[in-house]
Amino acid sequence: MTITTAKTRPELLSKTRSMFEDSIAVKQEILETQLETIVRMAEVIAESIEHGGKLLLCGNGGSAADAQHLAAELLVRLRPHVNRDGIPALALAADMSSITACGNDYSFEAYYERLVQALGRSGDILIGITTSGKSPNVIRALRAARERGLTTIGLLGDEGGPALADCDLALIVPSKITGRIQESHITIGHAMMELVEELLLESGYLAAK
């Protein structure tokens, strides 16, 4: 492939600038209105882990990738200068055999619910990530989690959707654009996981190596 040196089209530059500006504006609104919610979510997760609980995460598409990303930050390492033991976190979309078996034998909508029923324990945390708040499989997982005594956290978008009713704590990204919502979810998630790590180090549950 040959990359040309022709001048970039102005309308594409303008569109790209607009996307960045929109993303910054959404995050700025979260910064001004939802910091306490982010901190409270981190505190609840850290408290659960200190008492022997674990963090479960689920979502679809890009949100499934975000769930895996955030679980890995706790299981392995989040910050290169902080070496510590792994923190118990599990992304529920990590097993393709189970996903396809459930989709074939029962339904895709039942998958996360079934895993929460099998793996969730009272005192655990479930984070459901859905940009629309309308994902049936995530909603069913949140409901199953509450029935089993888990604390439910929602990372949502738009106006929260039906999922909001099944969340003990929720953060609704103030946007209707999927890309802007997902960009904010991963920023929020990183902030939460770093706070969780800090709280667990502070409490003595973790020791930096």
Residue 8: inside a domain? no
The number of folded domains in the chain is 1
Residue 148: inside a domain? yes
Residue 11: inside a domain? no
pLDDT band of 144, cuts 50, 70, 90: very high
Residue 143: inside a domain? yes
% of the chain beyond a pLDDT of 90 = 90
pTM for this predicted structure? 0.94
Mean pLDDT (whole number) for 123-134: 98
The half-sphere exposure of 58 on its side-chain side, counting CA atoms within 13 A, is: 31
For residue 208, pLDDT beyond 80: no
pLDDT digits (tens, 9 = 90+) for 30-77: 999 999 999 999 999 999 999 999 999 999 999 999 999 999 999 999
For residue 3, pLDDT beyond 70: no
Residue 6: inside a domain? no
**pLDDT, greater one: 6 or 161:** 161
For residue 6, pLDDT beyond 90: no
Q: Are 80 and 72 in contact (CB under 8 A)?
A: no
CATH of the domain at 98: 3.40.50.10490
Residue 7: inside a domain? no
Q: What is the pLDDT of residue 8?
A: 73
Residue 3: inside a domain? no
> Domain residues for 66?
16-203
45-49, 125-129, 205-209: least confidently modelled range: 205-209
For residue 190, pLDDT beyond 80: yes
